[in-house]
Amino acid sequence: LGLSGPPGAGKSTFIECFGKMLTERNHKVSVLAVDPSSSTSGGSLLGDKTRMTELSRDMNAYIRPSPTSGTLGGVTRTTNEAILLCEGGGYNVVLVETVGVGQSEFAVADMVDMFILLLPPAGGDELQGIKRGIIEMADLVAINKADGDLAVPARRIQAEYISAMKLLRKRSKVWRPKV
């Protein structure tokens, strides 16, 4: 599964909760977390693993943070090979978290079985849903943080994306993206 979304959408938190649920069901989970590299220093924080403390201690989980090192598209130059290595190593679920910073960070969509776009409930107006790029590549749009005071805005943005996605050309004859 490939996961992307804007900063603050809760990608790492979602992956930790989802990953723990999967390992509790006896799955072996690998997380390939891609972090942006600085165009100035070339360095990268690789901080996603620190936000997945419970999952990082789970014996049925493997978390590998990697820098983009200037590669565009939200993944690294070797993400596809890393997915294959994880599968070969016996991990039956591989989650790839992209840098997730914009409309063109969807290279992972061609590497995975399902591409999930994670969005916060107050992430923009309805026009965001009809922009070409990452939205039309998503197999699933998940509105995250949809509880408490954000439940009503989450329902509103869900309805907006459902409506907007009807305007996009279908990529598959058998699957219609869900929100």
Spell out the per-residue pLDDT of the chain, length 179, in tens: 999 988 888 999 999 999 999 999 999 999 998 876 555 555 545 556 677 999 999 999 999 988 776 666 677 788 899 999 999 999 999 999 988 665 556 688 888 999 999 999 876 554 454 456 778 888 999 999 999 999 999 999 999 889 888 888 777 888 889 99
What domains can you pick out in the chain, each with its CATH number?
A: 1-165 (3.40.50.300)
Sequence-separated (6 or more) residues with CB below 8 Å from residue 87: 94
Considering the entire predicted model, what is its pTM? Answer: 0.85
- One-letter amino acid of 68: T
Residue 176 one-letter amino acid: R
Q: How far apart are the first and last CA of the chain?
A: 16
Q: CA angle, 130 as apex, 125 and 109 as ends, to 5°?
A: 115
Residue closest to 62 by CA, chosen among 37, 83, 78, 81? 83
Question: What phi, psi does 35 have (nearest 5°)?
Answer: -115, 145
